[in-house]
Amino acid sequence: MNVARQRLYNQQIASPTFEQPSDVVGWLGAVQAQDYLGALWAVGLRMKSATEQDIEQALADRTILRTWPMRGTLHFVAAADVRWMLELMTPRVLAAGARRLQKEFGLDDAVFARSREVLSRALQGGRQLSRNAMYQTLEAARISAAGQRGLHILWWLAQEGLLCFGAREGKQQTFVLLEEWVPGAERLERDEALAQLARRYFTSHGPATVQDFTWWSGLAPADAMAGLESVKADLTQEVVDGQTYWFASSVPIAKEKSPTAYLLPAYDEYTVAYKDRSAVLDPLHAQRPDSGHGIFYPTMVLDGQVVGTWKRTLNKGSVDITLRPFTPLKKAAEQAFAKAARRYGAFLTPSPGSRRASHPVA
């Protein structure tokens, strides 16, 4: 079994079939999204055809949303899934962080209760407030938002299920009341939620190990194993190099001619969603200071392997893509990455003329 190649298909990077952003996000379960613009591309590259504006429109239409559903990290999730995901995964994160927040920032139950009351009142009726406006609202109620205190208050209340991000206003992110933004989002019993999460993960991210699932979800190891146990009858398992991998065989794997090249954003699910990334990133490259361990920088993926990093520079009517391969590329690979760069340029604009993408190699 070629683990990397199977993941390319199961993650909808190779031969994407989805037409709606919500279908992509629902399939994956969650898409890491602390790099907002990169996360838009993470969704778009997994669609048959998409522009950046399409993903933003899905956020404005409330079919997907951005919040902190797992590991204390920002993700896109499907609106229908947000409630049960928060209820399943955030209590462990909050319990782990409570003592530190009290010790370092003076944030305790009383402060959170007061903040909850103040911000609920400020946002009710469908109001959307920028982060700075949220901080000003807290300050007006004599709740200090200085330093990182305000961000930690928003982080806590979002994981409790009070807040989430709304639509952008210009370049400003806004906050809204979750229940007003997506009323009636589904709730699941804990066992059902564990099974649902495990099924989503191993279907969309497999082949993967239970250790990978534990890392990705942030669940306690016993809960992650319970989730896998409840769905493993629907999965296939295979041992590779002493590791047991689980996956669903629902996505057909087509034969493709090498090379196939993709430009993935930083924190893409293809790299960040696994505890062990050696299937897609050579451990020797992972030690390079310019690799970001295959997570922190946008990555060049060639035939399933991370072979370098890249950066974009936006100009008027064009985008410059600078490729930084770990080793020199062959001519066919350069041509494949040129095609990938053109696809990214087309994603950045809804106009028929799309952005022109140039791609110098550093």
Quick check: is 290 in a domain? Answer: yes
Quick check: is 305 in a domain? Answer: yes
Local confidence band at 356 (pLDDT 50, 70, 90 cut-offs): low
Mean pLDDT over the full length of the chain = 92
Per residue in 293-312, pLDDT tens?
667 899 999 999 999 999 99
- In this prediction the pTM is 0.93
For residues 314 and 132, give the distance between their C-alpha atoms in angstroms, rounded to a whole number. Answer: 27
Quick check: is 146 in a domain? Answer: no
Quick check: is 85 in a domain? Answer: no
Local confidence band at 71 (pLDDT 50, 70, 90 cut-offs): very high
Quick check: is 95 in a domain? Answer: no
Quick check: is 284 in a domain? Answer: yes
Quick check: is 69 in a domain? Answer: no
Phi, psi of 92 (to 5 degrees): -65, -40
Percent of the chain whose pLDDT exceeds 70: 92
For residues 166 and 262, give the distance between their C-alpha atoms in angstroms, rounded to a whole number. Answer: 30
Quick check: is 313 in a domain? Answer: yes
What is the Cα 75 distance to its own chain's centre? 5
Per residue in 309-341, pLDDT tens?
999 998 877 889 999 999 999 999 999 999 999
289: preceding bond cis by omega (within 30 degrees): no
Q: Structurally, how many domains does the chain consist of?
A: 1
Per residue in 24-58, pLDDT tens?
999 999 999 999 999 999 999 999 999 999 999 99
What's the pLDDT score for residue 184? 87
What is the Cα 161 distance to its own chain's centre? 19
Q: Which residues constitute the domain of residue 340? A: 261-358
